[in-house]
Structure 1
Amino acid sequence: MEKAMERYWTLLGIGPWDVRHFTNETVRDFHVDGERVQEPFEFICAVTWEGDVELELIQPVEGPNIYWRHLDEEGEGLHHIKDVMPDEEIPAALERFRERGHNVIQTGWIDQDVHYYLDTKDALGMVYEIGNGGPIGPPPRRYPPDS
């Protein structure tokens, strides 16, 4: 994670990055492949904005999540794009994808933000995410630290 943030910052001027650790204590109602995750898990997410585009760097640390699968099958690189929509539009959007055979492979709540990753890899070459873009509390860390 540190090397990736440094590369984006020094080579492209992309950043600064807000860095958060998400765990079974901070993510509610976390499901992977339709199963509620009961065991401890952790992943690190660094976020920055370039114009109106949010970029995320995600590093799995422990426990089940779809990020491990991506690293095992594809290595580093583009994992997903996200479509942000109002809460009331999400159920219909998820149903449209389900009707086409694209099921939810990971979901959870972080503060007021909900995410649904859909199994669209065969159709789109990547995972498609639907979420509300809800607010998340302040990050505990930024990179670079003095930004």
Structure 2
Amino acid sequence: MTSPITKVIQLAFIVNNLEAGIEHYRQIFGLTTWEVYTIAPPSLKNLRYHGMPGEFSMRQAIALSEDGMQYELIEPLTGPSIYHDFLKLHGEDLHHIACEYTGNFDEAISHFSQIGIVPIMQGNWGEIRFAYMNTEKKIGTCIEIWDIPNDYELPLPEKIIR
């Protein structure tokens, strides 16, 4: 069985404080421009946490490196969520990698499910569907996959930190 994963497109870190995290990772990776969003209901919907209905929110900062790698910082707000779980177990650290994949979103989830890897958290942010696959014990981190409609444009960030 061939994996649908084609490449890593994002490195995501959990932080206790988004602004402090931005300064920390700016020094490490040299990323100068961060777009900040608060992601919460009602735009965050259809949420599942360990297979059950969920409700959570977070603050997020996104930066792009010159080679196109996306860096994401997540500050959990409300929960429960896998972000809160991670902070309790590991503290601030690399939480997940997001990957491109062949086929469609449902086929990628089906592929993982067939090899015993199920989503541990999933939902929609606006029109974007996302799923975090339970791969931490197999590869040391979680894999996230997205389904972004071709014509979709992200909302404007609430602020840009330079």
Q: 2:41 aligns with which of 18, 24, 43?
A: 24
> Following TM superposition, by how much is the alpha carbon of 1:85 offset from its aligned partner in structure 2, in angstroms?
4.3
Q: Within 5 A, what are the aligned runs for 1:107-146?
A: 107-134=122-149, 135-144=153-162
> Following TM superposition, by how much is the alpha carbon of 1:114 offset from its aligned partner in structure 2, in angstroms?
1.4
SS in 1 for 2:117: coil
CA deviation map 1:54-98 (0-9, x unaligned) = 110001011221101111111111111111347x61111111111
CA deviation map 1:99-127 (0-9, x unaligned) = 11111011111122211100001101000
Taking the aligned partners of 2:87 and 2:131, their CA distance within structure 1 comes to 19
Taking the aligned partners of 1:91 and 1:124, their CA distance within structure 2 comes to 22
TM-score, length basis structure 2: 0.79
Gaps spanning 5+ residues in structure 2: where?
A: 1-17
Gaps spanning 5+ residues in structure 1: where?
A: none
Does residue 96 in structure 1 map to residue 111 in structure 2? yes
Does residue 33 in structure 1 map to residue 50 in structure 2? yes
RMSD (CA atoms): 1.7
Q: 1:15 to 1:32 in 2, by over 3 A?
A: farther
Residues 84 and 132 in structure 1, CA contact (< 8 A), matched pair in contact too:
no
SS in 2 for 1:94: helix
How many residue pairs get aligned? The number is: 141
Q: 1:98 to 1:11 in 2, by over 3 A?
A: closer
CA deviation map 1:19-67 (0-9, x unaligned) = 1111122202111111112x5x321110011122111000101122110
Relative contact order (C-alpha < 8 Å, sep 6+): which is higher?
2
What letter corresponds to residue 43 of structure 2 in structure 1?
A: T
Residues 23 and 43 in structure 1, CA contact (< 8 A), matched pair in contact too:
yes
What letter corresponds to residue 94 of structure 1 in structure 2?
A: I
User: Kindly, what percent of the aligned residue pairs are identical?
Assistant: 26
SS in 1 for 2:22: helix
